[in-house]
Structures are given as C-alpha cells and as structure tokens.
C-alpha cells in the first residue's frame, strides 16, 4: 500500500486548467466595443419602414395633414348645411298675434336646463312691459299639440322649449332670444308692440289658469243617468284658461 504524501502546512493545493482564462482590466473596453458592434449589426439587418427616412417622413406628415384638413372641411360644410336646413324660415307666423308676445314654455322642473331657459326667457320678456301670452304646456297638453302643428315640417330638429313668437312672427328659442337681447335688437322689435295696461291678474295671480266651475277641478262630472263622465269644459288637469287674461 502506497502512503500518500501530505501537503506541507501553510500551502494550498491548486489545480490548473488549460480552459480557464481571465481578462485584465485593460480588456474591458474591447468587450464593450464588441457588444456595441453586435448590436449595430443586429439593427442593420432590421427592415426599414418607408417613413424612417427624413424624406419619407415629411411626405407622410404632409399626406396626413391634407387628409385631416379634407375631413375637417367636409364636417364643417355638413354642419353648416344642417344648420341652414334646420334654421326656421321667417314665414312661420301665428295669425291674430300681431300685438303681443306668445311664449310656449313649461313650469315643470323635470329637466333643469329646460326649466332654467324658460325662466330666463320669461324674465327677459317681462322686463319690456308688453302683453305676453304665456302658454304653459305642463298646464295644458293642447299647447304642445298647437306648437307642433305650427312648426310641423318647418323645423327638422326636435322641438324644445321655450319657443317665442313676437308680433305673431317666430323668433326661435332661448339662445336666439338671449343673443338678440344682448346686442339690443330685441328691444327694437318688442318696442313696436303696445305696452301692457295692467299688472298681475287678480283672478289667476299670473298663472293664466283657474279651476273649472263645472267639475271644481276634478275633471269628472256626475249625472244620475250616466254616472261619472269626463268634463268637457276643462283640460286634463281640471283647469280652464283665465277669462280675465284672455
């Protein structure tokens, strides 16, 4: 049996391999430069998009700008055409209303914007102290049917409130009245109407409606022969138009 020779104390036995190699600090720059060369080589093999070149990029932007301008001009022309078609003609009139203002509005607060527009228009028109015929469609649905009959086939947009007729001629809604009032043209038109010779109606308090005398506002009448029947003298709310205001 062979005896193995022990290593002397203080020495560390190392094994050398021909495959192991290290690079010095001076070789780090070469390593980085080789990586950059490989990345550049990889990028050079990628297919280039036509818009990558400066010349193609400029033509691409010009072509995109032209298409956007054409689309914008088409939209603008169509908007103007629709506005012209929906613009009410001056021939919309109400016969027999040449000496007063007629306002179709609603006193309901269901739609806040509509209610505020109605209140603003009524406040503007009441400031001129002329005769105003206020027709509340929430008090009588016949007013809405009447307005639709007047504007039928003449306004393509949905009929919103308020709608104003001055001297029997149609002037539009809230936006039109506000704009005319701001530039001072509304005063010139309303100034041609006769002034109102009375204040708030004492009979109806300015509501333009009173309770029906026949049914006392129930919209139902009773007879011994037929029992209950619908009152024909009032509207669906049991109201009739104030005779004093009329």
Residue spans per domain, the chain: 101-197, 198-246
Strand partners, 93: 169
Cα–Cα distance list, 85 to 80, 90, 92, 209 (Å): 9, 13, 15, 37
**Which residues fall within 8 angstroms of residue 229, CB to CB, at 6 or more apart?**
220, 221, 222, 223
Model confidence at 133: pLDDT above 60: yes
Model confidence at 73: pLDDT above 90: no
**Which residues fall within 8 angstroms of residue 195, CB to CB, at 6 or more apart?**
129, 130
Give the residue carrying structure tokens 């228009």: 121
Instruction: Indicate the SS3 state at residue 145.
Output: helix
What's the pLDDT band for 62 if we cut at 50, 70, 90?
A: low
**Which residues fall within 8 angstroms of residue 216, CB to CB, at 6 or more apart?**
238
Contact indicator for 88, 154 with CB cutoff of 8 Å: yes
Give pLDDT tens digits for 22-35. 444 445 455 445 55
Give the residue carrying structure tokens 């333009």: 208
User: Cα(36)–Cα(28) distance, rounded to whole angstroms?
Assistant: 13
Higher pLDDT, 225 or 14: 225
What's the pLDDT band for 56 if we cut at 50, 70, 90?
A: low
Pick the CATH number of 101-197 from 3.40.50.300, 3.40.50.2300, 3.40.30.10, 3.40.1180.10: 3.40.30.10
Predicted TM-score of the model (pTM): 0.62
Give pLDDT tens digits for 137-152. 999 999 999 999 999 8
């Amino acid at each position: 049996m062979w005896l193995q020779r022990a290593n002397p104390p203080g020495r560390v036995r190392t094994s050398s391999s021909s495959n192991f190699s290290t690079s010095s600090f001076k070789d780090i720059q070469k390593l980085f430069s080789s990586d950059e060369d490989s990345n550049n080589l990889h990028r050079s093999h990628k297919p280039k998009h036509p818009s990558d070149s400066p010349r193609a990029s400029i033509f691409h932007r010009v072509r995109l700008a032209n298409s956007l301008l054409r689309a914008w001009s088409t939209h603008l022309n169509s908007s103007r055409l629709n506005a012209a078609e929906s613009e009410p003609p001056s021939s919309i009139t109400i016969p027999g209303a040449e000496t007063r203002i007629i306002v179709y509005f609603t006193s309901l607060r269901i739609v806040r914007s509509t209610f505020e527009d109605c209140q603003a228009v009524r406040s503007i028109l009441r400031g001129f102290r002329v005769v105003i015929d206020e027709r509340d469609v929430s008090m009588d649905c016949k007013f809405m049917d009447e307005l639709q009959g007047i504007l039928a086939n003449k306004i393509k947009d949905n009929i919103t409130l308020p709608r104003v007729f001055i001297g029997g001629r149609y002037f539009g809604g809230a936006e039109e009245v506000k704009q005319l009032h701001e530039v001072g043209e509304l005063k010139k038109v309303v100034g041609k109407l006769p002034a109102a010779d009375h204040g708030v109606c004492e009979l109806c308090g300015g509501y333009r409606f009173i309770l029906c005398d026949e049914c006392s506002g129930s919209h139902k009448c009773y007879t011994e022969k037929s029992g209950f029947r619908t009152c024909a003298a009032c509207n669906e709310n049991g109201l009739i138009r104030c005779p004093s205001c009329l």
